[in-house]
């Protein structure tokens, strides 16, 4: 397939090929032969094809993850209204934020990552948007956003959303899917009404065991009525009081890529629970079985497994809370400076609080406690800082490790699982003192 064919509207869409089967698409477009997760093996004809398609040689082609569609093919600016994000994929749009750009206590909207499974809806009109609440409730209801604002208490809370696959890029053997490094996490300030209040107003029937969430985005295939993702929560979780149906992000309308005009925000649980472009919640008497609820999606083995081990689908369990984790946002990885610095960052642990964060600059031989703030509210990450004085010129690594209220601490090594979820290993940043 030539560059002209790729840009020819009548030719099969490259994005469709990659959405259906990235491996097959890689083979078809670039003659991929290896099972490696990187395109480092891409030589000769395959590399020449890709270079011709992007219009230049690709000095770092060895680093390109397999299945990554060169962003040069993007037909529109999918990162409009975002600043400094790294685009991993443009169909569906997936973009993460480099750690040093997540330094703010409250993540500005321009820095909030994007994780889409399908195509966002074309129409995100606040005024005509409706939310249906039905299923196992006594009074099925349809609310406009104005109804939600007038009928329920409106609350504003800082809430952490982390994608279940954040950190997947470091899995070995590699795991398929978006190769998130560190930045699929954010803590914006969300304004909305409590999911609990809305469900209780509907009259939750005693047979309800799970919620089911429906958004207005469409499946990559474009098939009418087919959902890309529909997740749910155990009813007891749904009735806790800091899950929001949000219509504002940092005091403004939601960003289109973050679910405008209405979304769920379920702090501390995999980001996939926080349905964007929310238009329906229904209650069910079974564990919800929508797209990405079943099989191995957002699930992990029910036991520790060996890296690379094959695990039967029936041995996978639904991921609930996200584990204890921290992120160093200052200094930036690879930075150069003087001997003294302030190390800063955030720490979080789903449904829990952080008890302590420790810092090391000698590869973990010794640790010093960081100053740690309380969360501004339940569900928000906690900020930490420490003044560090490095002994001499040279290369150092700053390591951070958080311990939560249940005494759980971040591990040094990845607790490997086949789908590449829940990587909460300690964050390390390199610094050079001149
Ligand atoms: N309707 C809908 N909601 C969705 C998704 C989606 O693809 N469609 N992706 C989910 C996933 S996997 C994550 S991690 C979060 C990311 O939220 P963000 O894009 O606002 O950062 O949205 C969740 N909500
Ligand atoms: Mo996610």
Number of structural domains (the chain) is: 3
Same domain, 251 and 365: no
The pLDDT of 155-183, averaged and rounded, is: 97
Strands (DSSP E) contained in 45-91 are 86-90
CA of 180 to the centre of ligand 1 (A): 14
For ligand 1, atom 5, the nearest C-alpha belongs to: 116
Same domain, 1 and 53: yes
Q: How far apart are CA 79 and CA 85, in angstroms?
A: 8
Maximum average pLDDT range among 7-16, 50-59, 119-128, 356-365: 356-365
For ligand 1, atom 15, the nearest C-alpha belongs to: 271
Same domain, 336 and 252: no
* Ligand 1 atom nearest 276 alpha carbon: 3
| pLDDT confidence of residue 311 | 97
Among candidate residues 284, 314, 344, the one where a domain is terminated = 314
Q: Which domain holds residue 305?
A: 130-314
Among candidate residues 52, 81, 110, the one where a domain is terminated = 81
Q: How far apart are CA 130 and CA 280, in angstroms?
A: 8
Same domain, 305 and 337: no
Q: How far apart are CA 13 and CA 29, in angstroms?
A: 11
Among candidate residues 285, 314, 343, the one where a domain is terminated = 314
| pLDDT confidence of residue 6 | 42
* Ligand 1 atom nearest 115 alpha carbon: 19
Ligand 1-lining residues (CB < 6 angstroms): 112-118, 161, 163, 215, 217, 228-229, 258-259, 271-272, 274-277
pTM: predicted TM-score of the whole model, two decimal places: 0.85
Q: How far apart are CA 257 and CA 89, in angstroms?
A: 14
Q: Which of 36-40, 112-116, 430-434 has the lowest mean pLDDT?
A: 36-40
| pLDDT confidence of residue 407 | 98
Handedness of CA 411, 381, 99, 417 (dihedral sign): positive
Same domain, 302 and 340: no
Same domain, 146 and 239: yes
In this prediction, residue 78 has a pLDDT band, given cuts at 50, 70 and 90, of confident
In this prediction, residue 31 has a pLDDT band, given cuts at 50, 70 and 90, of low
95 domain residue, yes or no: no
DSSP letters of 120-161? --S---TTT-EEEEEESBSS-EEEEHHHHHHHS-EEEEEEEE
* Ligand 1 atom nearest 186 alpha carbon: 21
Same domain, 178 and 293: yes
Kindly report, residue by residue over 398-415, the tens digit of the pLDDT: 999 999 999 999 999 999
CA of 273 to the centre of ligand 2 (A): 8
122 domain residue, yes or no: no
Cα distances (angstroms) measured from residue 314 to each of 55, 112, 208: 46, 34, 24
pLDDT over 80 at 349, yes or no: yes
The pLDDT of 258-267, averaged and rounded, is: 98
- Is there a contact between 202 and 136 (Cβ–Cβ < 8 Å)? no
341 domain residue, yes or no: yes
Q: Which of 46-60, 238-252, 274-288, 321-335 has the lowest mean pLDDT?
A: 46-60
Same domain, 294 and 176: yes
């Amino acid at each position: 397939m030539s560059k002209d064919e790729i840009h020819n509207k009548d030719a099969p869409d490259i994005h469709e090929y990659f959405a259906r089967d990235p491996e097959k698409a890689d083979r078809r477009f670039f003659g991929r032969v290896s099972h490696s997760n990187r395109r480092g093996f891409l030589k000769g004809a395959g590399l020449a094809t890709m270079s011709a398609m992007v219009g230049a040689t690709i000095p770092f082609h060895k680093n390109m993850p397999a299945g990554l569609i060169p962003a040069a093919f993007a037909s529109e600016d999918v990162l409009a209204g975002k600043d400094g994000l790294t685009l991993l994929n443009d169909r569906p749009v997936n973009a993460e934020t480099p750690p040093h750009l997540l330094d703010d206590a409250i993540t500005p909207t321009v820095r909030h990552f994007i994780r889409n499974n399908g195509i966002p809806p074309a129409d995100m009109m606040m005024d005509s948007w409706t939310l249906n609440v039905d299923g196992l409730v006594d009074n099925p209801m349809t609310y406009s956003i104005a109804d939600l604002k007038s009928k329920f208490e409106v609350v504003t809370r800082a809430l952490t959303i982390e994608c279940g696959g954040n950190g997947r890029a470091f899995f070995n053997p590699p795991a398929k899917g978006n190769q998130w490094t560190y930045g699929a996490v954010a803590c914006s300030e969300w304004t909305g009404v409590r999911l609990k209040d809305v469900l209780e107003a509907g009259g939750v029937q005693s047979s309800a065991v799970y919620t089911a969430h429906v958004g207005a985005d469409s499946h990559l295939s474009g098939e009418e009525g087919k959902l890309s993702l529909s997740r749910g929560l155990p009813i007891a979780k749904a009735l806790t009081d800091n899950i929001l149906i949000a219509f504002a992000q940092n005091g403004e309308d939601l960003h289109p890529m973050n679910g405008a005009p209405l979304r769920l925000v379920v702090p501390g649980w995999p980001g996939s629970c926080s349905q964007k472009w929310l238009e329906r919640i229904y209650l069910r008497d079974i564990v919800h079985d929508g797209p990405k609820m079943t099989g191995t999606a957002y699930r992990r083995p029910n036991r520790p497994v060996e890296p690379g081990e094959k695990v039967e689908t029936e041995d996978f369990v639904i991921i609930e809370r996200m584990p204890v984790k921290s992120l160093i946002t200052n200094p930036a990885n690879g930075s150069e400076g003087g001997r003294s610095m302030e190390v800063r960052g955030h720490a979080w642990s789903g449904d829990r609080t952080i008890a302590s964060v420790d810092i090391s600059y000698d590869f973990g031989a010794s640790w010093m406690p960081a100053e740690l703030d309380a969360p501004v509210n339940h569900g928000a990450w906690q900020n930490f800082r420490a003044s560090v004085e490095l002994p001499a010129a040279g290369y150092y690594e700053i390591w951070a490790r958080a311990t939560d209220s249940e005494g759980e601490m971040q591990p040094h090594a990845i607790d490997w699982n086949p789908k590449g979820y829940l990587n909460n290993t300690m964050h390390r940043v390199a610094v050079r003192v001149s």
